[in-house]
Amino acid sequence: MDPIVHRTSKRIFRFLDPIYEALEPLAYPMIRFVAGAMMIPHGYGKVFGGIEGTTQFFASAGLEPALILAWYVGLIELVGGICVALGLFTRLMSAQLIGVLAVATFYIHLPSGFLWVKGGYEYPLFWLVVMVAITIKGGSKLSMDNIIGKEF
């Protein structure tokens, strides 16, 4: 343990420093994994049984070509979510999810106000910002990108 860390620590409970230091490398991969995993059910529902409803919704919202967009969104939420969770092609997939979440946030939910419980943009905006951060950071050391040694 580095004694300088303990002398310069500004934490009230410095005895927790070793725990924070040990767990710090897991913090970002945990966020990346959960963010990706949270996208998977959205895509799964569209791809496996919900494509017609998604297509109808997109068409009613003026998003055309609705069928192509429904498949794209479903697949990017499903496959992109899996990839972000694993840290595989992380930047490429999270950038695609930024696009999907930007449309959801600013085109679909913005007119309903902020609160998610009222159909607002709170939830998709949160995930949009998380995906922006993931795109900037990339896969990290605990990722498939790191294992294969290539990253976008």
Distance in angstroms (rounded) separating the CA atoms of residues 94 and 76: 9
Task: Tell me the residue type at 41.
Answer: P
Residues of the chain with pLDDT under 70: 1-9
Q: What does the pLDDT read at residue 79?
A: 98
Q: What does the pLDDT read at residue 151?
A: 85
Alpha helices, DSSP H, located in 16-112: 17-45, 51-60, 66-75, 81-86, 90-103
Q: Are 75 and 47 in contact (CB under 8 A)?
A: yes
Q: What does the pLDDT read at residue 3?
A: 52
23-32: per-residue pLDDT in tens? 999 999 999 9
Helix axis angle, 90-103 relative to 17-45, nearest 10°? 60
Q: What does the pLDDT read at residue 7?
A: 57
For the chain, the domains span: 28-142
